[in-house]
Amino acid sequence: MEEFNVQKQSSLKADKWTRRVLSLHPKLGIAAITDRGRPEDRFHECMRVSSMQIWPQYNKKHVKESFSSMEVMLTVRMKGIPAKVGVREKQSATGPVKIYRYTMKGPEAEKHTWMLRFNNYEDFEKAVNLVQSMQTVENNSLVRYGETHRPEEGCEGVTDEVEVEEFLPRPVMYGNVEDELAPIRAQWQQARPK
């Protein structure tokens, strides 16, 4: 899991932020955060990430600072279904390997929502790209129609409609992430000391 030092907004006071460690596992689509007083408890609160918004996608009401400030630009709003993460070590030819697993409540469960602030643009961009690589799956099946080309005797071929039932994968983040990051990157480059 990749780890990042972040600040998490209090769920009771929007102007109160506490230091935490955020862990991301892009293949499992899991985010975990430490308790404010116990940084060694890496899985204090965990979620299966369902969506993440970066500045300016989230609503201004979610932050108290100036919406055009650098600290707000380095803030994300992450939502997901609560999960429990377990870790065990397994020996391999190259040494011990950590194996992560998770269980989660159904999609009807109340979602976690975290406002997280990164300390620098580099960590912010790396975390955004990790989350972007996650895929979430809707719990509802979807009937999709697609075209298939099958050869017909004595003919060139016939286009036929096929019905496919499957789970609907969808991205955790919408839009072109590079385009969304460009103004934040430009502001960071202007604001940071040379």
Q: pLDDT, tens digit, for every residue of 112-148? A: 899 999 999 999 999 999 998 886 554 433 333 333 3
Q: What is the DSSP letter of 93?
A: T
Instruction: Note the pLDDT of residue 112.
Output: 87
Instruction: Note the pLDDT of residue 135.
Output: 64
Distances (CA, A) of 147 to 11, 160, 169: 48, 6, 19
The tokens of 149 are what? 């080309």
Instruction: Note the pLDDT of residue 96.
Output: 84
Q: How far apart are CA 11 and CA 114, in angstroms?
A: 8
Distances (CA, A) of 66 to 40, 61, 72, 92: 33, 11, 7, 50
Instruction: Note the pLDDT of residue 107.
Output: 64
Instruction: Note the pLDDT of residue 143.
Output: 35
Q: How far apart are CA 143 and CA 146, in angstroms?
A: 10
Distances (CA, A) of 189 to 38, 69, 129, 177, 182: 33, 13, 19, 18, 11
Instruction: Note the pLDDT of residue 150.
Output: 41
User: 83 near 43, Cβ under 8 Å?
Assistant: no
- Output the pTM of the full model: 0.73
Query: What is the residue extent of each domain of the chain?
Result: 2-134+172-191
* Residues of the chain predicted below pLDDT 70: 104, 106-109, 135-171, 174, 193-194
**Is CATH 2.30.29.30 what the domain over 2-134+172-191 is classified as, yes or no?**
yes
The tokens of 33 are what? 């955060």
User: 21 near 8, Cβ under 8 Å?
Assistant: no
Q: How far apart are CA 20 and CA 37, in angstroms?
A: 9
